Amino acid sequence: MLEVTADEWWENVTLPMLETARLKMRLLVQFADRKFRPVVQTNLADTAGETTEVTLPELEGVTLHSHEKKVRAFLDEHKKNNPTIVKLRANQPLTRAELQELDRLLFEVSGFESRTEFEKYFGAQPDLGKFVRGAVGMDRGAAKAAFGEFLSGSKYNSAQIDFINGVIDYLTERGTIKISQLYDPPITSHPDGVEGIFPRDYDSLLSIVRSINANASAS
């Protein structure tokens, strides 16, 4: 996180960059030196004079946050009745026409004046489908069903079942999962990741994960 101390980092900072920095700094707070600090009280008189109304320049970070808030509110409101969003949550593949219609709706809701700015922030097709799935998550039943055949026959031990349940939990909350995340916490602490948990069947497992992620894009 040393990069945030440099002036250059702040020149082109974006809202996602600030959020990432905030999350990383929050993890470092536990290591701060906790020294006793006396309580300081102040009693200052308000000496402000007459106020003058001024117009502040539009702040990019605040503006982007308002656009994203509108989009996320729309997704939350329609995640159970919009056919395309329902298909995304159910892990059903989308047609290009369905994704284009969803793209149109979200662009109108977002309030961006140009499609270039909209795609710069939310991503162009097919990335938009992954963004939407990430915002609304997957239906837990659909996530479990994706691994149903893989788990059939009860041939796996408790550690392997726990691994799959961890992936299902993640998909339910986040919608998609990167292959690289199958090698690290919170999914697993095994030094060899998914290959260590499933030494013989990890290729089949990776294929399922890739299929789930692909269903968030247009076919």
- Sign for the pseudo-dihedral over CA of 120, 124, 128, 131: negative
Whole-structure pTM over 0.85, yes or no? no
**What's the pLDDT score for residue 60?**
47
pLDDT in tens, 65-119: 788 888 889 999 999 999 999 999 999 998 989 988 988 998 898 888 888 888 8
| pLDDT band, very low/low/confident/very high, at 124 (cuts 50, 70, 90) | confident
Is residue 161 scored above 90 in pLDDT? yes
Peptide bond into 186 cis (omega under 30): yes
**What's the pLDDT score for residue 38?**
65
**What's the pLDDT score for residue 61?**
46
**Beta carbons of 112 and 123 less than 8 angstroms apart:** no
